[in-house]
Amino acid sequence: MHPRYLLLLAPLLLAPLAQADECDNATTQLDMNQCAGKQFKAADQELNSLYQQINQRLKDQPQTKKLLVTTQRAWVAFRDAECDFAASGVEGGSVYPLIHSNCTTALTKDRVKAFKTYLKCEEGDLSCPVPGL
């Protein structure tokens, strides 16, 4: 690749690093709240991607697919209620978005781990609700 192109691409390649540094060095409550929101959004996007993969694997199993939808809706309701409760001590305060987002991010990352486990099921594993590839 020509060095001139590297110079043009440098800002694009370094943008995620700059954003990470901004969050690592956030000092104002507003910045910390925004960074926590971004972290939750990233975890939620990963969860949605994994959900779609599981949903696709269940395309030939309508009853199990229905259970997945029901379970995920219940899990989202639980996550949101749990984090509302966990952050209730600071409700109305400037730190509330940070505490709430940190909670939703942590629970979402736990769900991501569970989904990744489902996607690693081997063919013939009767204890796993998601068919292997």
pLDDT in tens, 61-85: 999 999 999 999 999 999 999 999 9
CA–CA dist 26, 123 (Å, integer): 46
> 47 or 4: whose pLDDT is higher?
47
Q: Is 108 exposed, middle or buried (0-12, 13-18, 19+ CB in 10 A)?
A: buried
Share of residues in the chain with pLDDT > 70 (%): 84
- 132 is written with which tokens? 């292997």
Other Cβ atoms closer than 10 A to 75: 15
Interhelix angle 96-119/29-57, nearest 10 degrees:
20
Q: Taking all residues of the chain, what is their mean pLDDT, rounded to a whole number?
A: 86
Q: What was the pLDDT predicted at 29? A: 92
The percent of residues in the chain predicted with pLDDT above 90, rounded, is 71
What would the two tokens of residue 38 be?
A: 């971004």
pLDDT in tens, 34-60: 999 999 999 999 999 999 999 999 999
Residue 15 has pLDDT above 80, yes or no: no
Both tokens assigned to 29: 């409550």
Residue 96 and residue 88: Cα distance in Å, rounded? 8
- 23 pLDDT exceeds 70? yes
pTM of the model: 0.80
- Dihedral-angle region of residue 124 (phi above 0 means left; psi in -120 to 50 means alpha; beta otherwise): left
